[in-house]
């Protein structure tokens, strides 16, 4: 793993940094301390009872005093935990320090190395494992071992004999400790035993806390999934949380729908407030750049640069196996578009409809790359079904809405429209049979109103149909709209389009269809034009919808840009709003008395942004 030495890490922490931040809540910490305090009192009381039953286990009255003191100490700790609302770190350190000192002290007065009081050493090591992690537990074991060796040194140096002489001088009982129990050759195995137990218990506790942190993080991300947020909204929340989790600076979300050659790339920048995903088209080489290698489910890469060459060190998780490679052509293409020092990526699949990858650039909170690859792979497996349900639900809602609109269109066509047309025809018959006069003029006015209402209803029906328009249906829809406009108004209509396949997202197609409808409505109502023409053109990846007529034009002369429309409000408000929805560019050219021309341009990046 030397090739990944550039990743920042804490040498005393085997878990990745974000797992170290996943600590117990205040209530959980208090509950753990209450259990430990209860166990402390029970263990000390049991040891005291055992000493009374077999006094030979303790050589001196000082041992009984220490046990009594430790029982009182345990009861006091329980009282403080019950009475205090929060447990502070200094309090825990003080209690833990007392737990470390007591086993070493009581061992002075016990018989041999195999006595039951050795359980106090195991208790303090287990308490460190519950409270903290691996290296804190090992340090606790080392502290206990150090105290035992200090006591051994005291016997070897004669300090214990001096203390016994002083106790005799002040008429107090002697320690009655056996120096042979603290000989180095006997103490050595006890020390090894304590260190090994510290490593074992610390490692097991560390693994349990790691699994808990991963479980809590997965549950938190699953809780972010909202049915009403849509695919883009949910991806923004989840990937934004991953950005914060790993301290990355940027995230890329690559997605491809089934049966579509298009690959979209969503970009999310880290910051105080995460903005909505900005989607861009990856271009013709997107598959080779982002999805070329399908063998791995998660990947970690670093870059080593020198004057002569650039080397990519890549760690991949493929079929539950870790593969290490150096010098990767795929990473070279990726690096040219998105420079990085290190990155971590995970593949996802939302059923068979949507697949892709998430790339996190410049992650800082990674200490164990292999561990993170497995975590991200499992995370994608857990969250994928929830996101897939959101994807299916949004698709189901669109289909249900389309069916309901189609039903309403049929009802309007067979009901209200036909009735209005029938009434309008009866009015026409009455008007023709009526001689000239005021009544004839009134019948003519009513007939025109009925005809206008029929046209409005048909325009409403067309707008409802336009919700179903996608890239495949857009040309035919615009052509039918122009032909119907010509039949109903008598204004000459023409539709022109380049001989190329439309590659617009459905949301953009829908808004362009409605813009064309609104423009034709304005031509019919206000322009007095004799002919109108609609064009759909594509130039260098930019699609353009043009509507021009030979009518009265707008009340200004010249060519007006998007900014001037927004400040002066010269363009129709509905068209301005729809262009803003797809982040397009609106330009209007007006020649009063000679017609007008409306141009709507949709650059490729805006098309992608509107596609999710």
**Per-residue pLDDT band at 300 (split at 50, 70, 90):** very high
Which has more pLDDT, 79 or 558? 79
Residue 342 pLDDT > 80, yes or no? Answer: yes
- What integer pLDDT is reported at residue 542 of this predicted model? 84
**Per-residue pLDDT band at 201 (split at 50, 70, 90):** very high
Report whether 588 contacts 576 (CB < 8 A). no
When pLDDT is averaged across residues 484-513 and rounded to a whole number, the result is 84
Closest to 50 (Cα-Cα) out of 130, 5, 8, 106: 106
**Each residue of 224-273: pLDDT tens digit?**
888 877 778 888 889 988 998 888 999 999 888 776 667 888 888 887 56
**Per-residue pLDDT band at 11 (split at 50, 70, 90):** very low
- What integer pLDDT is reported at residue 139 of this predicted model? 94
Token pair of 599, please?
């141009």
Is residue 13 located within the same domain as residue 157? yes
- What integer pLDDT is reported at residue 26 of this predicted model? 67
Number of domains in the chain: 3
- What integer pLDDT is reported at residue 260 of this predicted model? 67
**Each residue of 146-196: pLDDT tens digit?**
998 998 888 888 887 788 788 778 878 777 777 777 788 888 888 999 999
- Within-domain flag for 343: yes
Is residue 81 located within the same domain as residue 210? yes
- What integer pLDDT is reported at residue 10 of this predicted model? 35
Q: What are phi and psi of 322, to 5 degrees?
A: -95, 125
**Each residue of 501-517: pLDDT tens digit?**
787 877 788 888 888 88
- Within-domain flag for 253: yes
- Mean pLDDT, the chain, rounded, equals 80
Token pair of 197, please?
């137990």
In the chain, % of residues over pLDDT 70: 82
What is the distance, to the nearest Å, from the Cα of residue 94 to the centroid of all Cα atoms in its chain?
Answer: 40
Instruction: Show which of 339, 363, 394 is a domain's final residue.
Output: 394
Residue 287 pLDDT > 60, yes or no? Answer: yes
Is residue 142 located within the same domain as residue 234? no
- What integer pLDDT is reported at residue 12 of this predicted model? 39
DSSP, residue by residue, 434-480: SPSSHHHHHHHHHHHHHHHHHHHHHHHHHHHHGGG--TTTHHHHHHH
**Dihedral (CA of 340, 346, 349, 350) sign:** negative
**Per-residue pLDDT band at 142 (split at 50, 70, 90):** very high
DSSP, residue by residue, 468-493: G--TTTHHHHHHHHHHHHHHHH--EE
- What integer pLDDT is reported at residue 405 of this predicted model? 67
Contacts of 400 (CB under 8 A, 6+ apart): none
How many other C-beta atoms can be found within 10 angstroms of the C-beta atom of residue 557? 13
**Per-residue pLDDT band at 107 (split at 50, 70, 90):** confident
Is residue 196 located within the same domain as residue 298? no
- Within-domain flag for 409: no
Residue 409 pLDDT > 70, yes or no? Answer: no
Report whether 513 contacts 504 (CB < 8 A). no
In the chain, % of residues over pLDDT 90: 15
* Residue indicated by tokens 């200090």: 150
**Per-residue pLDDT band at 360 (split at 50, 70, 90):** very high
Rounded to the nearest 10 degrees, how much is the dihedral formed by the CA atoms of 426, 431, 433, 439? 130
Is residue 215 located within the same domain as residue 266? no
- What integer pLDDT is reported at residue 413 of this predicted model? 61
- Within-domain flag for 103: yes
Report whether 386 contacts 225 (CB < 8 A). yes
Is residue 318 located within the same domain as residue 287? yes
Burial (Cβ within 10 Å: 0-12, 13-18, ≥19) of residue 58:
buried
**Per-residue pLDDT band at 441 (split at 50, 70, 90):** confident
**Per-residue pLDDT band at 524 (split at 50, 70, 90):** confident
Q: Specify the DSSP element, H or E, that contains 394.
A: helix 369-412
- What integer pLDDT is reported at residue 13 of this predicted model? 41
Contacts of 208 (CB under 8 A, 6+ apart): none
Is residue 373 located within the same domain as residue 508? no
State the angle between helix axes of 369-412 and 184-223 in degrees (0 to 180), rounded to the nearest 10: 10
Instruction: Show which of 164, 191, 221 is a domain's final residue.
Output: 221
- Which range of residues forms the domain containing residue 112? 2-221
- What integer pLDDT is reported at residue 4 of this predicted model? 38
SS3 category, 189: helix
When pLDDT is averaged across residues 517-524 and rounded to a whole number, the result is 84
- What integer pLDDT is reported at residue 434 of this predicted model? 66
When pLDDT is averaged across residues 302-319 and rounded to a whole number, the result is 84
Measure the CA–CA gap between 305 and 330, rounded to whole angstroms.
17
- CATH number of the domain to which 591 belongs: 3.30.565.10
How many other C-beta atoms can be found within 10 angstroms of the C-beta atom of residue 227? 12
- What integer pLDDT is reported at residue 571 of this predicted model? 64
Instruction: Show which of 174, 201, 221 is a domain's final residue.
Output: 221
What is the distance, to the nearest Å, from the Cα of residue 557 to the centroid of all Cα atoms in its chain?
Answer: 51
Which has more pLDDT, 188 or 114? 188
Q: Specify the DSSP element, H or E, that contains 590.
A: strand 585-591
**Each residue of 416-428: pLDDT tens digit?**
767 776 776 777 7
Measure the CA–CA gap between 454 and 487, rounded to whole angstroms.
13
Q: What are phi and psi of 315, to 5 degrees?
A: -115, 120
Residue 145 pLDDT > 90, yes or no? Answer: yes
Contacts of 288 (CB under 8 A, 6+ apart): 330, 333
240 half-sphere exposure, CB direction, 13 A CA radius: 16
Residue 479 pLDDT > 80, yes or no? Answer: yes
- What integer pLDDT is reported at residue 402 of this predicted model? 67
Measure the CA–CA gap between 197 and 331, rounded to whole angstroms.
45
- What integer pLDDT is reported at residue 113 of this predicted model? 55
Closest to 202 (Cα-Cα) out of 11, 15, 1: 15
- What integer pLDDT is reported at residue 130 of this predicted model? 87
- Within-domain flag for 438: no
- What integer pLDDT is reported at residue 2 of this predicted model? 40
Q: Is the pTM of this model over 0.75?
A: no
- Within-domain flag for 402: no
Is residue 217 located within the same domain as residue 247? no
Q: Specify the DSSP element, H or E, that contains 91.
A: helix 89-106
Measure the CA–CA gap between 83 and 371, rounded to whole angstroms.
41
- What integer pLDDT is reported at residue 285 of this predicted model? 72
Is residue 612 located within the same domain as residue 475? yes
Which has more pLDDT, 595 or 367? 595
Measure the CA–CA gap between 551 and 590, rounded to whole angstroms.
10
Residue 69 pLDDT > 50, yes or no? Answer: yes
What is the helix, strand, coil percentage profile of the chain, to 5?
60, 15, 25
Distances (CA, A) of 421 to 71, 415, 428, 486, 520: 98, 10, 10, 18, 22
Is residue 203 located within the same domain as residue 324? no
Measure the CA–CA gap between 495 and 82, rounded to whole angstroms.
82
When pLDDT is averaged across residues 307-314 and rounded to a whole number, the result is 82
Is residue 152 located within the same domain as residue 277? no
When pLDDT is averaged across residues 11-39 and rounded to a whole number, the result is 69
- Within-domain flag for 115: yes
Q: For the chain, give the longest Cα–Cα distance.
A: 143
When pLDDT is averaged across residues 208-219 and rounded to a whole number, the result is 85
**Each residue of 560-600: pLDDT tens digit?**
876 666 555 556 777 888 888 888 888 888 888 888 899 99
Is residue 201 located within the same domain as residue 62? yes
Which has more pLDDT, 300 or 259? 300
Contacts of 407 (CB under 8 A, 6+ apart): none
Report whether 358 contacts 252 (CB < 8 A). yes
């Amino acid at each position: 793993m030397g090739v990944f030495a550039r990743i920042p890490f804490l040498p005393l922490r085997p878990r990745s940094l974000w797992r170290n931040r996943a600590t117990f809540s205040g209530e959980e910490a208090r509950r753990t301390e209450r259990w430990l305090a209860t166990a402390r009192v029970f263990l000390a009381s049991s040891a005291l009872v055992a000493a009374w039953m077999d006094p030979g286990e303790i050589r001196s009255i000082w041992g009984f005093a220490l046990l009594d003191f430790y029982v009182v100490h345990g009861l006091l700790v329980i009282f403080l935990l019950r009475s205090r609302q929060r447990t502070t770190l200094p309090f825990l350190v003080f209690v833990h320090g007392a737990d470390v000192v007591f086993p070493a002290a009581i061992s002075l007065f016990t018989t041999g190395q195999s006595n039951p009081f050795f359980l106090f050493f195991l208790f303090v090591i287990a308490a460190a494992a519950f409270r903290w992690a691996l290296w804190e537990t090992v340090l606790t074991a080392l502290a206990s071992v150090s105290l035992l060796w200090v006591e051994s040194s005291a016997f070897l140096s004669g300090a214990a004999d001096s203390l016994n002489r002083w106790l005799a001088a002040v008429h107090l009982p002697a320690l009655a400790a056996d120096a042979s129990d603290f000989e180095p050759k006997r103490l050595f195995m006890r020390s090894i035993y304590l260190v090994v137990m510290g490593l074992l218990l610390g490692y097991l506790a560390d693994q349990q806390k790691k699994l808990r942190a991963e479980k809590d993080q997965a549950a938190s991300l699953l809780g972010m999934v909202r049915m009403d947020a849509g695919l883009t909204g949910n991806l923004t929340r989840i990937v934004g949380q991953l950005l914060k989790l790993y301290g990355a600076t940027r995230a890329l979300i690559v997605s491809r729908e089934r049966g579509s050659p298009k690959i979209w790339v969503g970009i999310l920048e880290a910051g105080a407030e995460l903005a909505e995903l900005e989607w861009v088209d990856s271009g013709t080489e997107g598959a080779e750049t982002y999805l070329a290698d399908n063998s791995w489910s998660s990947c970690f890469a670093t870059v080593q640069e020198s004057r002569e060459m650039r080397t990519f060190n890549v760690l991949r998780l493929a079929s539950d196996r870790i593969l290490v490679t150096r010098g990767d052509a795929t990473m070279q293409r990726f690096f040219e578009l998105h420079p990085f020092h290190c990155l971590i990526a995970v593949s996802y699949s939302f059923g068979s409809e949507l697949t892709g990858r998430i790339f996190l650039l410049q992650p800082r909170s990674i200490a164990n790359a292999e561990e993170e690859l497995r975590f991200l792979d499992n995370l994608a497996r857990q969250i994928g079904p929830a996101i897939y349900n959101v994807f299916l639900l949004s698709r189901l809602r669109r289909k249900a809405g389309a069916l309901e609109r189609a039903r309403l269109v049929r009802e309007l066509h067979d009901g209200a429209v036909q009735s209005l047309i029938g009434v309008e025809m009866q009015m026409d018959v009455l008007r023709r049979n009526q001689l000239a006069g005021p009544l004839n003029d009134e019948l003519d006015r009513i007939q025109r109103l009925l005809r206008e209402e029929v046209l409005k209803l048909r325009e409403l029906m067309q707008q409802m149909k336009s919700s179903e328009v996608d890239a495949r249906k857009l040309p035919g829809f615009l052509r039918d709209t122009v032909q119907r406009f010509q039949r109903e108004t008598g204004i000459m209509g023409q539709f022109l389009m380049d001989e190329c396949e439309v590659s617009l997202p459905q949301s953009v197609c829908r808004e362009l269809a409605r813009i064309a409808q609104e423009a034709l409505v304005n031509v019919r109502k206000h322009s007095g034009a004799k002919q109108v023409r609609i064009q759909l053109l594509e130039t260098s990846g930019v699609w353009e919808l043009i509507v021009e007529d030979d009518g009265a034009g707008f009340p200004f002369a010249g060519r007006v840009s998007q900014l001037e429309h927004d400040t002066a409000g010269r363009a129709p408000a509905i068209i301005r709003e729809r262009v803003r929805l797809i982040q397009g560019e609106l330009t209007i050219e007006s020649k009063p008395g000679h017609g007008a021309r409306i141009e709507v341009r949709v650059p490729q990046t805006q098309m992608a942004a509107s596609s999710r």
